[in-house]
Amino acid sequence: MPGTETGTRIRPLDELDIDAIVRIDERISGIYRPEIWEQRVGFYLRRDPGASQVAEAGGKVVGFMLGDLRAGEFGLEEPSGWIERFGIDPDQRGKDLGRQMFAAMVAHFQAGGARSVRTLVDRKDEGVAGFLRALGLSPSPLEALEMRLDAKPTESR
């Protein structure tokens, strides 16, 4: 619902935030990709409305953080909160908006019974990794493993 015109606030994601998210992503990545965000926003509003958050400044959405509460995946029976995508307009960084969105998501996850919050990060992306460390996330005993399927098969036996 329409918000106040001044100050900043954090509120749950809704379907009318797609446009702002597409813009923020375009500012960060240089790519206009509305289809992807339509799909992701549709997914999160269906999966766990109330988990994902946006940050408003002066009545305009300037940041987003998307994720959901999951249980039973990867054999992790206890419910945990997952943070998947986030971004803050470069002009609005350093105002604690990321931290506040994270806090709102954590509160939602805790209310849903989560005992941990998880994400995957590219260690080489110092901007994102540093931010996540500052929020208190630390390397997990679970390790992300992968195998390229498009390259030449390597010796595996």
Partner 1 sequence: MKVEAISLEKKYHGAVEHWQRHNFKDYETLLDQWEKYFPTDERFCLCAKLELGTSDTIAIGEHKGEKKRLEPEQLSEEEAAHLLAIIKAQASTEFGSIQQHAGTLERADDDQDRFWVLRVMAEELRHGYQMLHLLLSKDWSHVSRGVSGEQMVEEILSMQTGNHVLDAFNLDYDSFIDNITFAAIVDRVGKYQLTMQRICAYRPMADSMPPMLREEAFHLAAGVIPMRRWAQRAAQGDPFITMTAIQHAINKWVPRALEMFGDERGGETNVKFGFKDLKNREAQDQYIEEVQKMIRDINLRFIRARFPAYAPEQADAALAELERARGTHHGVRREDLLRTPDRRFFRRKGEPAFSMVGVDGEPFTDAEEYLRYLSRHLNEGYVASRDMRNYAEALRGVAAGTLAVKDAIMKMPKLKRVGGTCPCSKGVRWVMDGSAADQAASA
Ligand X SMILES: CC(C)(COP(=O)(O)OP(=O)(O)OC[C@H]1O[C@@H](n2cnc3c(N)ncnc32)[C@H](O)[C@@H]1OP(=O)(O)O)[C@@H](O)C(=O)NCCC(=O)NCCS
Binding residues (CB under 8 A) for partner 1: these are: 1-2, 14-16, 18-19, 23, 26, 32, 34-35, 38, 41-42, 45-47, 49-50, 70, 73, 108, 111-112
**Taking the complex as a whole, how short is the minimal distance between the CB of residue 111 and partner 1, in angstroms?**
5
Task: Confirm if 55 and 24 have CB atoms less than 8 A apart.
Answer: no
Give dist(CA 44, CA 40) in Å, integer. 6
87 binds ligand X (CB under 6 A): yes
Task: Confirm if 44 and 65 have CB atoms less than 8 A apart.
Answer: no
- For ligand X, the binding residue among 2, 30, 72, 127 (CB under 6 A) is 127
Stretch that binds ligand X, among 5-13, 67-75, 130-138, 146-154 (CB under 6 A): 130-138
Tally of CB atoms within 10 A around 156:
5
Which of these, 35, 16, 13, lies nearest to 26 by C-alpha position?
35
Q: Roughly what angle, to the nearest 10 degrees, separates helices 18-29 and 34-47?
A: 130
Considering the complex, state which of residue 45 and residue 101 has its C-beta at the smaller distance from partner 1: 45
Provide the binding-site residues for ligand X, judged by CB under 6 A. Answer: 28, 85-88, 93-99, 126-128, 130-131, 134
